[in-house]
Amino acid sequence: MISEDDIKFWGPKYGSIYPYLETSTPYNNLIDDIFSFLDFNKEDVILDCGAGSGLIIKRILEEFDFIKHIDALDVSKVMLSHLKNKLKFFDNKITSKVNLVQHDLSYPLPFKDNVYDKIISNLVLTYIISYEGKFGEDVLAGVLSEMYRVLKKNGVIVWTTPINNVKFVKVFLASWRNILNLKYYKRLYYGPLILGHALTIQKKGKEGVYHFYNKDRIENILLRCGFTDIQFKRSFAKQAWVINCKK
């Protein structure tokens, strides 16, 4: 179960400033790299697992509005409210394809087996502290096994995680043009705030509270869960892995 401290951290604290992170070049490069692994079809049923403020869903609706359905899942009401605001700019025919679900990924997903053609999860899965009372490597294995369960045969999951020994200050430094753009002067204030939150995440990773593993260990966990065709790409100022795999 997600702790009250984590709910506050990912909700009102981080959630209130998260949209400013979405304006940075490294973050948009990360989104581009996620989409580089995805090929959408009109019958696709998609799960955004940890949808955050909805940038990925917004892009899907803008560029691939022919898809059949999206379930947008997040534990944070604040994040889901950001997503709702993004959906206001689309007509009802498009937004009717999106179902918002508040759910704690420390527990099994509230979906049937073999539902989704594609699952996307951006900077979420390795932040889960426990899964059904388990800790350590079993947390990521448990969460990924749930992704496997709800995927259709030949379905794909594209997900991201900070690298082992991540240094988020490199993302901050790679964002300097965005932060110093005086046209958007609020970034001068929110940029350092985002870095502060990122350093808290980084610290929890080093302490083993969050699970930032090296490439080989991640691959072994994915194989243990049954995934195949595993591919890795470095992104986010080289501080995150984008991982593509198949059921």
Token pair, residue 93, equals 């025919």
CB 79, CB 46: distance < 8 Å: no
Q: How far apart are CA 55 and CA 234, in angstroms?
A: 20
CB 21, CB 193: distance < 8 Å: no
For the chain, what's the residue count? 247
Q: How far apart are CA 76 and CA 124, in angstroms?
A: 12
Q: How far apart are CA 87 and CA 7, in angstroms?
A: 24
**Residue linked to tokens 């969050």:** 210
CA distances from 126 to 91, 136, 219 (A): 34, 10, 14
Token pair, residue 6, equals 């984590």
**Per-residue confidence (pLDDT) for residue 204, from 0 to 100:** 94
Q: Is 59 exposed, middle or buried (0-12, 13-18, 19+ CB in 10 A)?
A: middle
Q: Which residues contact 63 (CB under 8 A, 6 or more apart)?
A: none
CB 67, CB 6: distance < 8 Å: no
pTM of the model: 0.93
pLDDT band at residue 19 under the 50/70/90 scheme: confident
Q: Residue 161's domain is classified under what CATH number?
A: 3.40.50.150
pLDDT tens track for 25-69: 999 999 999 999 999 999 999 999 999 888 999 999 999 999 999
pLDDT tens track for 100-137: 999 999 999 999 999 999 999 999 999 999 999 899 89
Q: Which residues contact 6 (CB under 8 A, 6 or more apart)?
A: 129
Secondary structure (3-state) at 100: strand
Q: How far apart are CA 44 and CA 118, in angstroms?
A: 7
pLDDT tens track for 171-224: 989 987 776 665 666 666 777 888 888 999 999 999 999 999 999 999 999 999
Q: How many beta carbons lie within 10 A of that of residue 242, not counting itself?
A: 24
**Residue linked to tokens 């997903």:** 109
- Containing domain of residue 57, as a range? 4-246
The dihedrals phi and psi of 49, each to the nearest 5 degrees, come to: -95, 100
| Structural domains of the chain, count | 1
